[in-house]
């Protein structure tokens, strides 16, 4: 949720942010107007309440013969107060409605849409094979790691089983991520995967892409697409202690996405599925520390990707491709040999004070005054990584070399085709 004081002081910045995102800049002027109406309605209601209070004292001091007329005037004033309070409530509701329509203010991201990202760096060299490489599904099936056919039979399209060493490979990757998170000062959490509407709305997921979310109407609960949602709601309505630095959590959970609008895209294998597991980093910090914390999360992702040894690049995501809560986002994309391109593995977003303002998460500054926190998130490992790990580490005989960092969790060095 946008800060109204920032909006009043910097309307052109917010308008430009809307344009950068490809969203409606006129919402800015609508919100400014609604905010002016709200403040006028508050002033009017306060003035009438003060008048009512003074009138009450006047009645108490009046002679008995004067009171009937004064009481009649008091009733009329009482109705005016009631009407003014109703108008104030309506004005406040309109401001909140418009606030929820305006996305976070973009900070430094390039303008444009999905294809207008800027490549910041390449890490590692894509492998060159002297044989025809197999894609991750063919490898997964021949090695006994992935069973799409039975996943579809049980649950429908875009579902799968990870079987045998496939399950261990995912657990190895997630365990490594969890250990790295703990060593870096993140508290590991296994959060709920069903959340209330206020948590989903507070994190900005009930806007333009709400059709991506699974909803259980009988319970009024949502299945999360990332543990970011539950971790953002963890301190909802609290004043937290940031005197010793950011609060950092790492959520390990299953995640669920409807993949609405992706018909025909990535239908083969486990690149785009309805259910997957993920370790997600989440930080609460002071707003002035948010940019440094964003780089810290990106460095954590670099470290994890380096550990599993896949070639990748980092991109600065364009404003039009940002989620509504993100002011800036960096994606890391791994090389997928059979697609001859890079595909997203992780993202890390600086959400500034946007989510915490909606959720009422604050801290006390050096003067003891409550201020709104900044929040950030970043993926440390997820099921999709198996695609890059399998394809980049395959051998001519159809085997796959297990990255060295995962071997202590796997107990094997090479995954061999099943006979």
* DSSP per-residue letters across 79-127: HHHHHHHHHHHHHHHHHHHHHHHSPPPP-SPPSSSTT--EEEEEES---
Active site residue 257: yes
Q: How far apart are CA 66 and CA 55, in angstroms?
A: 13
What count of other Cβ atoms lies within 10 Å of the Cβ of residue 308? 25
Residue 20 marked ligand-binding: no
Residue 344 marked ligand-binding: yes
Catalytic residue among 67, 272, 343, 407: 272
Residue 379 marked ligand-binding: yes
Residue 257 marked ligand-binding: yes
Q: How far apart are CA 274 and CA 243, in angstroms?
A: 40
Residue 186 marked ligand-binding: no
Residue 276 marked ligand-binding: yes
Catalytic residue among 49, 344, 399, 416: 344
Active site residue 272: yes
Catalytic residue among 38, 248, 257, 362: 257
Residue 13 burial by CB count (10 A; 0-12/13-18/19+): exposed, middle or buried?
middle
Active site residue 157: no
Catalytic residue among 21, 357, 362, 384: 384
Q: How far apart are CA 263 and CA 261, in angstroms?
A: 6
Residue 361 marked ligand-binding: no
Beta strands in 337-390 (DSSP E): 341-350, 362-364, 370-372, 374-382
Catalytic residue among 41, 199, 324, 347: 347
For 117-134, b/e burial (b = at least 16 CB within 10 A) is beeeeeeeebeeeeeebb
Residue 203 marked ligand-binding: no
Residue 175 marked ligand-binding: no
Residue 187 marked ligand-binding: no
Residue 226 marked ligand-binding: yes
* DSSP per-residue letters across 26-59: HHHHHHHHHHHHHHHHHHHHHHHHHHHHHHHHHH
Residue 256 marked ligand-binding: no
The DSSP bridge pattern shows strands 247-256 and 187-189 to be parallel
Residue 37 marked ligand-binding: no
Q: How far apart are CA 158 and CA 256, in angstroms?
A: 11
Please count the CA atoms within 13 angstroms of the CA of 334 that sit on its side-chain side: 27
Q: Are 336 and 270 in contact (CB under 8 A)?
A: no
Residue 345 marked ligand-binding: yes
Residue 228 marked ligand-binding: yes
Active site residue 347: yes
Q: Which two tokens mark 224? A: 């999360």
Q: Are 142 and 418 in contact (CB under 8 A)?
A: yes
Alpha helices in 106-247 (DSSP H): 136-142, 148-155, 165-183, 197-202, 228-233
Active site residue 362: no
Tokens 């998130």 belong to residue: 377
Annotated binding site: 226-228, 257-259, 273-276, 280, 344-347, 377, 379
Annotated binding site for L-serine: 226-228, 257, 280, 377, 379
Active site residues: 257, 272, 344, 347, 384
Annotated binding site for ATP: 257-259, 273-276, 344-347
């Amino acid at each position: 949720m946008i800060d109204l004081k920032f909006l009043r002081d910097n309307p052109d910045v917010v308008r430009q942010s809307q344009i950068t995102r490809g969203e409606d800049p006129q919402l800015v002027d609508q919100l400014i107007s609604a905010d002016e109406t709200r403040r006028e309605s508050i002033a009017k209601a306060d003035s009438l309440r003060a008048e009512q209070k003074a009138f009450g004292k006047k009645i108490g001091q009046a002679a008995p013969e004067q009171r009937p007329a004064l009481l009649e005037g008091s009733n009329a004033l009482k109705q005016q107060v009631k009407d003014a309070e109703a108008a104030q409530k309506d004005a406040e509701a309109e401001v909140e409605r418009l606030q929820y329509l305006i996305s976070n203010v973009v900070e430094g991201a390039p303008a444009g849409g999905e294809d207008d990202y800027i490549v910041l760096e390449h890490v590692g060299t894509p492998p060159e094979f002297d044989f025809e490489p197999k894609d991750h599904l063919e490898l997964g099936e021949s090695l006994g790691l992935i069973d799409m056919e039975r996943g579809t039979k049980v649950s429908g399209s875009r579902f799968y089983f990870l079987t045998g060493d496939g399950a261990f490979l995912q657990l190895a990757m997630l365990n490594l991520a969890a250990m790295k998170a703990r060593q870096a000062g993140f508290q590991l959490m296994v959060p709920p995967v069903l959340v209330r509407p206020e948590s989903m709305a507070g994190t900005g997921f009930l806007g333009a892409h709400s059709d991506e979310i699974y909803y259980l109407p009988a319970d009024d609960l949502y299945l999360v697409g990332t543990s970011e949602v539950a971790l953002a709601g963890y301190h909802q309505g609290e004043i937290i202690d940031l005197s010793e630095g950011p609060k950092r959590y790492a959520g390990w959970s299953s995640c669920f996405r409807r993949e609405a609008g992706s018909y025909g895209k990535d239908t083969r294998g486990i690149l785009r599925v309805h259910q997957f597991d993920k370790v997600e980093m989440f930080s609460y910090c002071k707003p002035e520390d948010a940019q440094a914390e964003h780089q810290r999360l990106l460095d954590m992702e670099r470290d994890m990707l380096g550990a599993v040894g896949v070639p990748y690049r980092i991109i600065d995501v364009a404003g039009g491709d940002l989620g509504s809560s993100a002011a800036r986002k960096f994606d890391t994309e791994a090389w997928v040999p059979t697609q001859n391109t890079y595909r997203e593995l992780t993202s890390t977003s600086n959400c500034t004070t946007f989510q915490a303002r909606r959720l009422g998460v604050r801290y006390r500054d050096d003067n003891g005054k409550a201020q709104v926190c900044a929040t950030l998130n970043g993926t440390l490992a997820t099921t999709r990584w198996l695609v890059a790990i399998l394809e980049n580490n395959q051998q001519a005989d159809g085997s796959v070399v297990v990255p060295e960092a995962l071997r202590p969790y796997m107990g094997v060095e090479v995954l061999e085709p099943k006979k």
